[in-house]
Chains A and B, each alone.
Chain A
Amino acid sequence: MKGAAWIALLVALFTGVLASASDWRSPPPGEGPETVIVRTLEGRPYIAVNDLARLIDATKFWRADVRRLVLRTSAHTIVLTADNPFVVVDERTFWLRDPVRSQGGEFQIPVALVDSLPPDSALARLTYDARRGRVVVLPVSGGVGSPKVTLDGAVTRVVVPADHAEEALVVTRGRARFRVRFGGVFLGALPDSVPPGALVSEIRTIVAAGGSAFEMTMSPEAIGYRLLQDTGRRRVTLEVTRERGEGFESFAPETPPGERPLRVVVIDPAHGGADAGVVSGHAVEKNLTLDLARRLEGELEQQGIHVVLTRNDDRSVPAETRAELANRLHADLVIAIHFDGYVDPHARGATAFCPPASPTEDRLSDDEDASTPAAPASGPGRVVLLPWRDVSTRHAVQSRDLAEAVLSALELRGQGPTRLRERLPYDLLGVNAPGILLECATLTAPDDRDRVLQEEGMRQLAASIAEGISAYRRSQ
C-alpha cells in the first residue's frame, strides 16, 4: 500500500513537470518579422487559421451551417471548408492535397495554401521556411539572404541578396559597430567565418523593426567603404577598402588613442521644484538626483575635472537653460542623472540613453563646427542639414562609448542589470557635446530603492559612475 502511495505521488508530480515542460517549448511572442509555427498533423505541415488570418490581415466570417470559414482581406477572399482539400481563392479553386481540418475548434490549413495566395501587393507575402518549421511574413520590402564575404585585393566585399536592394542604408559607420539596415526580413544564415585578411569580422544580426540589420566590426586597416545597390540582380554589395579610392566614404571619426581631454563635465540633476520625478515609498527622484550629482561632483573633482551642476537646490530648470549652460561652458561631457520607475516591481537596474548615430550625422565631420554644414564627406555625398535640436547626434560614437563605460562599471559593482538604448533623450536636445541620460537605479524595485536610500548605496553609486567616466577618459 505504501508503495502504491509513493507511485501515485510521483506520477502526479512527474505529470506536472511534463506538462510544464511542454509550456517551455511554446514559441515566445516574437519581435521582428512576424512568424508562426507550423504544426504537423498526420505527417503533413499545417498552419492554424487564426495565425494565417493574422499574418494576411484578414477578417474571418464563419458559416456554421456549412462549416465554412471565409477570410476576407481588402482585395481578396479565401473560402475554406472543413474536411475539404479544395480552397477557393477569389475566383480560383485550388486542390491542396490534404484537407482542411478542424481541431479543437480551430481550422488547420495545409501549409501548401501559402503558395497559392495571390502574389500581389494587396496581400502580405508569406513564405514557408521548412528548415525552421515556420511561416514568415515577407514585408513589402521582401527578404534578405545570407551575406557572403569575399576578398579582392585591397577590397573586401560583403554581398547580401536583397529583394529591394534600393532600401539598404548604412545607419552607423563607426568601425567598432558598422551597421547596415535592410527593408526585408533576414531569411538566411550568417557565415561561420570570414576569409583570412578580410577587413570585416563578427557579422551579426540586430533587431530592426520592419526589416533587418547587420552589425559588423571593421578592421583598423579599413579606410573607406561604399554601398552598391544592384536592384536588377537584387543584391547589395558593401565594399570595404584598405586603399584610397574614388567613391569610398570614410568611417566615423574616432577618438585618437590615448586619454580623452575632460576639462568640463556638466552634471544635470534631473527634475526639481514642482517636478518631483518618480516617487516610490520614501524615495523622491528629484532629491536623489541632486544628492547623487553632488557626490559625483566630489568624485570627479578628485580627478581634476571641473564639474558644473545645472542646479544646486530644489528648483526646476527648463531644458533649454540646461542645454544652453552646457554649450556655453563648452562641456566635454553632459550627464543627466535620473532614477527610473516602472509599472512592475520586477524591473530593476540601470539604463542609459544615448543619441543614435543617425544617417544625417554621417555627413558632418565631428571636429567641425556644426554651423558649417554641407561639408560632404568623400564620395558622392549629399548635403544634409542637421537641426540644432539633434546636434548631440554628432557625438553619437563618444556618447555610446561613455554609456558602455558607465554601465560596465555599474555591472561590475553589482548595480545592474543594465541596458543601453540608442535614442535621443529629451535632456540632450540642443546639447553640443557627448552625453547620456542615466537612469541610475529603479526606485519601484524594492532592492534598488533600499540600496539608494542608504548612505553607502549612494556613495557606491557615485563611485561607480565616476569610475565609468574615468574609463571613458582613458578610452578603455
Chain B
Amino acid sequence: MRRVFIGLVVIAVLAWLAYNWTRRSAHPPKMEAAVADSATAGVKAARLFFGAANGDSLVAESREMIEATGLHDRVAALVAELDRGPRARGVAVLPAGTSVLRVFLDDRGLMTLDLSGAFRQRFRGGASAEYLAVASLIRTIGANIPEAKQVLIICAGRPLATLGGHLPLDRPLDVADWP
C-alpha cells in the first residue's frame, strides 16, 4: 500500500513538472515593460508577421526593440527580426540570411527595398512559401513604417521578376493589399 501511495505521488509530481516544462517551452516569459533603465535609450514595440505553421496565414507577434534611427536601420532591424524567427507561434518564412542592403523611400510612399542575394538564393518551397515570405515582409513593413504605401522588392541591386516562380515581383506591391 505504501509503495502504491509513493508511486502515485511521484506520478502526480512528474505530471505537474512535465506540464510546467511544456508550458514554459511553448510560452516564453513575457518581456517586462520598459526594461530599458536609461532615460536616453528608447524601447519600442514592433509588430512582426510570421507564417502560420499550417501555411494558411500569417501570425502577428509584438517584440520590444531598441529604437533605431534612420530609415535603413529601422527596416534592417525589422528584417533581422523576421530572419531570427518567431518566439511564440508560427514559423520564419523569410529565406534564411536575408538582410537589407539599401532602402529608398520617395515622397509618394514608394519604398524600394534592396535585399541581399540570400533572399533569392536560399528560397525553398512552393507558392505557399513564396506567398507567405512576401506577405510577411510587406505586412511587417506596413505595420511599422506607416509612411510606406508600396514596396518594390529588388535583390542584390537588380530587379527581381519573381522569388520562386509563382508570384510576380516586378511591380511595387501595395501594402494595403496583403491581408
Contacts and interface: CB of A to CB of B under 8 A. Distances in A.
A106 interface: yes
Interface stretch (B30-38, B100-108, B113-121): B30-38
B66 to A, nearest CB: 9
B71 interface: no
Contact of A342 (B55, B139, B179): B55
Contacts, number: 207
A410 B127 CA distance: 18
A425 B45 CA distance: 34
Interface stretch (B46-54, B76-84, B150-158): B46-54
A347 B131 CA distance: 14
B75 interface: no
A139 to B, nearest CB: 9
A16 B15 contact: yes
B50 to A, nearest CB: 9
Contacts of B31: 50
Contact of B5 (A5, A53, A60): A5
Interface stretch (A128-136, A206-214, A229-237, A458-466): A206-214
Interface string B152-179: 0000000001100111100000011111
Q: Which size bracket describes the interface of B in this complex?
A: 35 or more
Given A34-B47, A59-B67, A15 B16 contact: yes
B108 to A, nearest CB: 16
Contact of A338 (B15, B36, B45, B166): B166
Contacts of A443: 126
Contacts of B88: 29
Interface stretch (A144-152, A270-278, A300-308): A270-278
- Give me the 6 closest cross-chain CB pairs, A-B, nearest first: A347-B55, A59-B42, A340-B126, A54-B45, A106-B33, A210-B176
Interface of A: 1-2, 4-6, 8-9, 11-13, 15-16, 19-20, 23, 29-32, 34, 48-50, 53-54, 57-64, 69-70, 72, 104-107, 207-211, 270-271, 275, 277-278, 285, 319, 338-344, 346-348, 351, 353, 389, 419, 421, 423-427, 429, 437, 439, 442-444
Given A20-B23, A62-B37, A343-B91, 18 more contacts: A5-B5, A12-B15, A49-B33, A60-B33, A61-B38, A62-B34, A107-B33, A208-B179, A277-B126, A340-B128, A343-B93, A343-B124, A344-B55, A347-B56, A425-B167, A426-B165, A427-B166, A442-B126
